Amino acid sequence: MAKKKRRSMLYIPGNNPAMIQQAGVYGCDAVLLDLEDAVALNQKDAARILVRSMLESVNFYDTEVCVRVNNMQTPFGLADLEAIVPMQPDNIRFPKTESVQDVRDFMKEVRRIEKKHDIKEPKMTIHVMIETAKGVANVYDIAACEPRIDAITIGGQDLTADMGIIKTPDGAGIDYARKRIVMAGKANGLDVLDTVFADVNDEEGLKEETEYIKKLGFAGKALINPRQVDPVHEVYNPSEKEIRKAYRVYSEFYKNTKAGIGVFAIDGKMIDAPVVQRAITVLEYANIDIKDIEKSLE
Amino acid sequence: MTPKFKAQAGTFESSDIMVLIEPVAEGSGRQVDISSTVMLQFEEDLKACINQVLDVMEIENVHLIAKDKGALTPTIKARVETAVKRSLGIQEGTL
């Protein structure tokens, strides 16, 4: 099966039933039901109960569902975990992760609740959110400390606030953090997701930023409006020319591998393992399963 | 359990429901008043859903007023649960 794509993760306020019930039809790869910053302090209980209730019965189709809980240092974090962990969404997002100890404390509660509810084979993975300078400094250790972490995400708004700088359209202030977090993720085989693009009316700016973060190695981007889904997918989706080339590279690789040949050439250019890996990535983004290519060549 | 405080949960937005709880004297029983944009089609379903939550939470004496704007079952259940918990003074993890 092709790897699950995470080009787009749409933030949905946890206290908005209309948006949550439609979450599966926005066309994004993933949705994030937010109990943290998108919920007013006096509505935290209402959002927690609503999200739990929606997870029990709403069909999200093949959209990945992540829930962002409040940080454990707040009065809401533990109550969020008690309500959400038994529902086992695809992932739970741990905001403002700053250290390995933070992850250990968080996972201790997650495991305690799973044990209490007799969840023996938990399917839920963990997303850690890096949004402070301390978190950026410790991100390599954080990424490697817990096997259930399968994605890291950068929170640009909080990070710039923590750094005492203004978030500019060119992203200069968070550029180092983006690159460092991508490397930490790649070094540990994790997906890395980019921060939101706040101006929903600036489609060109969104595309430009998405082109940039794609080049850096981000698997996708957080979105704040369904209108942002298509522009982001357009950037991540490979062109027909790229797909044809990737198909040819993988087909030749498969045929040559079966014949016991490791390195070969197409149109006079050497094709080795990294080229094949890039072709596989293109095919994944084009929803083409390499197993189907292999079958067609049998 | 008997609600102690006036409480509310939900909004008047489309696909939501506003639930108001008023405490009543012990032994008064349940009074559930509903108005809805889909009253003709779903009044009985709404009542059944609200009563189901009240049953689970063992709330016998209460006056509940619901103003529905086409909420789905999970939303109705969540808003009733929230309003009841607030009226009981149970607002775990909320300022």
How high is the mean pLDDT of chain B? 92
Q: pTM, whole model, 2 decimals?
A: 0.91
Q: How confident is the model at residue A169 (pLDDT cuts 50, 70, 90)?
A: confident
| Least confident segment among A25-34, A146-155, A167-176, A220-229 | A167-176
B94 part of a folded domain: no
B93 part of a folded domain: no
Q: How confident is the model at residue B94 (pLDDT cuts 50, 70, 90)?
A: low
Question: Where does chain A have alpha helices with state H?
Answer: 17-21, 44-57, 77-84, 100-116, 133-137, 139-144, 156-163, 175-187, 203-216, 229-236, 240-258, 273-285, 290-297
Query: Do A78 and B78 count as a contact with CB atoms less than 8 A apart?
Result: no
Cβ-count burial A209-234 (b if 16+ within 10 Å, e if not): bbebbbeeebbbbbbbbbebbebbbe
- Among A217, A291, A273, A281, smallest CA distance to A246 is for A281
Q: Give the chain B residue whose CA is nearest to the CA of A81.
A: B93
Write out the two tokens for A189.
């085989």
B22 part of a folded domain: no
B21 part of a folded domain: no
Topology of the domain comprising A8-236 = TIM Barrel (3.20.20)
Which domain range does residue B83 map to?
A: 7-15+28-88
How far is the C-alpha of A277 from the C-alpha of A290, rounded, in Å? 11
How far is the C-alpha of A222 from the C-alpha of A9, rounded, in Å? 5
Q: Give the per-residue pLDDT at A64.
A: 97
B69 part of a folded domain: yes
Q: Give the per-residue pLDDT at B93.
A: 47
How many structural domains are present in chain B? 1
CB B34 within 8 A of CB B90: no
Asked if the model's pLDDT at residue A292 lies above 70, the reply is yes
Question: Does A69 reach chain B within 8 Å, measured CB to CB?
Answer: no
Asked if the model's pLDDT at residue A202 lies above 70, the reply is yes
Query: Do A17 and B73 count as a contact with CB atoms less than 8 A apart?
Result: no
CB A297 within 8 A of CB A251: yes
- What is the tens place of the pLDDT at every residue in A216-269? 999 999 999 999 999 999 999 999 999 999 999 999 999 999 888 888 899 889
Question: Which 3 state secondary structure label does DSSP give A132?
Answer: coil
Asked if the model's pLDDT at residue A287 lies above 90, the reply is no
Query: Do A45 and B95 count as a contact with CB atoms less than 8 A apart?
Result: no
CB B7 within 8 A of CB B65: no
Asked if the model's pLDDT at residue B85 lies above 60, the reply is yes
Asked if the model's pLDDT at residue B92 lies above 70, the reply is no
Mutant choice from B52, B76, B77 vs A, greatest count of A C-beta within 10 A: B77
- What is the tens place of the pLDDT at every residue in A100-153? 999 999 999 999 999 999 999 999 999 999 999 999 999 999 999 999 999 999
Q: Give the per-residue pLDDT at B90.
A: 83
Query: Do A42 and B72 count as a contact with CB atoms less than 8 A apart?
Result: no
Question: Does B9 reach chain A within 8 Å, measured CB to CB?
Answer: yes
B20 part of a folded domain: no
Shortest distance, CA A128 to any CA of chain B (angstroms): 22
Percent of chain A past pLDDT 70, that is, above it, reads 99
Q: Give the per-residue pLDDT at A132.
A: 97
Question: Which 3 state secondary structure label does DSSP give A13?
Answer: strand
- What is the tens place of the pLDDT at every residue in B61-73? 999 999 999 999 9
B46 part of a folded domain: yes
Asked if the model's pLDDT at residue B95 lies above 50, the reply is no
Count CB neighbours of B14 within 10 A.
11
DSSP B89: T
CB A200 within 8 A of CB A227: yes
10 Å CB burial of residue A202 (0-12, 13-18, 19+) is middle
Residue A27 or B92, more confident: A27
The one-letter amino acid at B67: K
* Mean pLDDT (whole number) for A264-291: 90
Q: Give the per-residue pLDDT at A4.
A: 80
* Domain boundaries for CATH 3.20.20.60 within chain A: 8-236
- Among A33, A36, A37, A9, smallest CA distance to A19 is for A33
Q: Give the chain B residue whose CA is nearest to the CA of A78.
A: B93
B2 part of a folded domain: no
Shortest distance, CA B76 to any CA of chain A (angstroms): 9
Count CB neighbours of A135 within 10 A.
26
- Angle, helices B73-88 vs B39-56, to 10°: value is 40
The one-letter amino acid at B16: D
